Amino acid sequence: MAEKKRPNVVLIMTDNQPADLLGCYGNQEMRSPRLDQMAAEGIRFDNAYCPNAMCSPSRASVWTGRMPSQHGVHTWLDDRLMDQWPAGWNAVAEFDTLPEILKRAGYATAMIGKYHLGALAEAQNGIDHWITMARGHTLDFHGNEMTVNGESFVYDGHSVDFFTEQAVQYIDARAAQPDEPFLLLLPYNGPYGHWPSIKGRAEHRFGDLYDKTPMHSVPREGISKEAIALYEMNKEFMSSKKGGPDFSALLQIPNDLTSLRNYYSQMSLIDDGVGQVLDALARGGLEGDTVVIFTADHGFSLGHHGFWGHGQATWPSNMFRIAYNIPLILRAPGAIGPDRSSERLVGSMDLFSTILDYLGLFKETDMADVPARSFAPELAGETFDWDDVVFLEQEEARAIRTTEWLYVKRFKGSGAYPLEDDLYDLNADADERRNLAGDEGYAAIERELATRLDAYFDRYADPRFDLWRGGSAKSNASRPWLWKDAWGPDWETVT
């Protein structure tokens, strides 16, 4: 008897999006009908977190099932350094990645969208069908150089529309070969949320959708001293070569309603694109045979806690929920639904193990040092043991988050840059406003959480990439001044 065909997998990922930015997560100002519909048909995870709130590290963790201290990508891979990378450099080349494992199992593989894990001109990590932008970060949604299976050209329209069009074409082609399973990775480069890409009014078909929206879904707060401190540090230490990020924008965008409305409209454009993808699956008769996952690389503050952007948008790095809590919606054959939600604390890194487990492919790779966990039994509504905890890291900050506590431990090995820890009681202080670290009344819980946190990184961190023990970062680091102070002027990054 022939072996039953495994389901197709479509993994859609946005760039810089908190869970809060969808209607199905309670945002009454966001228009996201297709993703809300997908959530109603599948399972919505309300407590999903990324391991690192920067784009390249979080993507590497999804592809490998490993933490940044294992795979070595600690921050965004700076496009300005591409000419210094070895030819065809791949930041996760030494690991058995998700597309490579599925390819060995007979899957056709496609990557359409933002890669940002190394060189872009040629396909990487076992990808057959390779479509991406010529850079990792987004300066403008229009007029981007695109690479389609080795051929490059400038696409004048919106990049989100381009990736949607290409994904629909790919699904239509796969529908003609229904006996061969496929993996489609669709990492959109929006809503993004940085200037100049969202400066001014949006120029696309949903650009006027939020013109009269009061934007009450976003808090109005003053700029935090930690955001200002980062700006001052970057001015002193970080290069501002042409084409690089404008760090001053992080202080200007909060409370800018035009930028907020632009950002919201980019999310609605993506929602429409996801709808087109879902329609293509249905049209091709693939809907009942395809796992569809929607998530984001990391969360994103829109002024919450007085900063704009990532976990590294403050000095020191923060671990606030808004920068790490991501949307995670999953629709799969055999999954219990509709309109289910899960309160389990899961990580986007866990998608690596969950997908392999669901497909019956654990045996296809060595899982010995992979911390990613499988929550596949949740899809079938089964009872199973699960430790409600996630671990996070941002160069000089590491955290453990449970249902009750958020504890942030910061690097103490620098004399010039003393850093303090954070502790938040999530039951009494869900918005993470009162730092209890150092309070004698909470000393016991702080010690317990610190012990668990240290044990986790002792087990999984690779000495080559453990910054806290003198290890390095691949390509570049966001805090080089800190690591040179701690480990000496000869400390350097590697490729």
Residue 293 has pLDDT above 80, yes or no: yes
What confidence score (pLDDT) does residue 24 get?
98
Q: How confident is the model at residue 240 (pLDDT cuts 50, 70, 90)?
A: low
What confidence score (pLDDT) does residue 47 get?
98
Residue with tokens 């403008």: 140
Q: How confident is the model at residue 234 (pLDDT cuts 50, 70, 90)?
A: confident
What confidence score (pLDDT) does residue 336 get?
86
Q: How confident is the model at residue 1 (pLDDT cuts 50, 70, 90)?
A: very low
Model confidence pLDDT, tens digit, residues 43-53: 999 999 999 99
Dist. CA 475–CA 115, nearest whole Å: 15
User: Whose CA is closest to 14, among 185, 180, 129?
Assistant: 185
DSSP H/E element including 379 = helix 376-379
- Sign of torsion, CA 132 135 139 144? negative
Residue 235 has pLDDT above 90, yes or no: no
Q: Which two tokens stand for residue 121?
A: 């001109």
Pair type for strands 129-133 and 142-148: antiparallel
First vs last C-alpha separation in the chain? 48
Per-domain residue ranges of the chain? 8-383
Q: What is the mean pLDDT of residues 411-422?
A: 98
What confidence score (pLDDT) does residue 236 get?
79
What confidence score (pLDDT) does residue 309 get?
97
Q: What is the mean pLDDT of residues 446-454?
A: 98
Q: How far is CA 459 from CA 51, 372, 463, in A?
A: 16, 13, 11
Q: How confident is the model at residue 361 (pLDDT cuts 50, 70, 90)?
A: very high
Model confidence pLDDT, tens digit, residues 266-277: 999 999 999 999
Pick 8-383's CATH classification: 3.40.720.10, 3.50.50.60, 1.10.1040.10, 3.40.47.10. Answer: 3.40.720.10
What confidence score (pLDDT) does residue 246 get?
64
User: Residue 126 contacts by C-beta under 8 Å, 6 or more apart in sequence?
Assistant: 97, 99, 100, 102, 103, 104, 109
Residues of 308-342 as b/e, b for ≥16 C-beta within 10 angstroms?
bbbbbbbbbbbbbbbbbbbbbbbbbeebebeebeb
Q: How far is CA 454 from CA 49, 420, 442, in A?
A: 19, 16, 18
What confidence score (pLDDT) does residue 143 get?
98
**Average pLDDT value for the chain:** 96
Q: What is the mean pLDDT of residues 344-354?
A: 98
Model confidence pLDDT, tens digit, residues 163-195: 999 999 999 999 999 999 999 999 999 999 999
Dist. CA 385–CA 381, nearest whole Å: 13
Dist. CA 458–CA 374, nearest whole Å: 22
